[in-house]
Amino acid sequence: MREAAREPRKEAHVTMRRADKTAAFVLIDTEEYHSKLDLILGDSSKFEKLSYNPIEEIKREANKRIEKINAATNAVHFQIITGDLSPGYLYGNVKTHKNGNPLRPIISQGLTPTYHLPKRLNSLLTSYIPNVHSVASSTEFLGKLKGSPTSGTIASL
């Protein structure tokens, strides 16, 4: 069974992607997959084509702010950003439940310069948020929205 699943990977004209919102995999023609990604990237309201790699500039700017924050407090420290980093990369999961099987764009940010900053901020901020005002999942959140009239501010961390 495992060998059968590996077989399509040997075909250059076939791309294997995870189906959106399910554990299944989809085989899609590589040209079709790339054209769907190009269509997503071509949306200038969401993406801007850069003629340079901004990673060093982002690291420099973030490190300036980190040094300023670290100098201002003895209690909270952020790690300086170092190492070989890269821009995020785009891939798409196939929406098998929609006509034409469009892609759900996903930008992987694991090797980007600021990847760890939000995680650190989240760990600092969550201790100040009372559990009585928190939800554990998006399903619980939607249930609360549907269940009763709400007032006030809604924030997501």
- pLDDT for 5 beyond 70: no
pLDDT exceeding 90 applies to what percent of the chain?
46
- The pTM of the full predicted model, rounded to 2 decimals, is 0.66
Whether 143 maps to a domain, the answer reads: yes
More confident residue, 124 or 157: 124
Q: What is the largest CA-CA distance in the chain?
A: 58
Helix H or strand E segment including 148:
none
What pLDDT is recorded for position 77? 84
Whether 29 maps to a domain, the answer reads: yes
Whether 142 maps to a domain, the answer reads: yes
**Is residue 25 a contact partner of residue 8, using CB atoms and an 8 Å limit?**
no
Whether 97 maps to a domain, the answer reads: yes
Highest mean pLDDT among 54-68, 125-139, 140-154: 54-68
- pLDDT for 1 beyond 50: no
Domain span at residue 13?
2-50+90-147
Say how many domains are in the chain: 1
Query: In the block, which residue shows the tokens 């040209």?
Result: 31
Whether 112 maps to a domain, the answer reads: yes
The separation between CA 139 and the C-alpha centre of its own chain, rounded to angstroms, equals 20
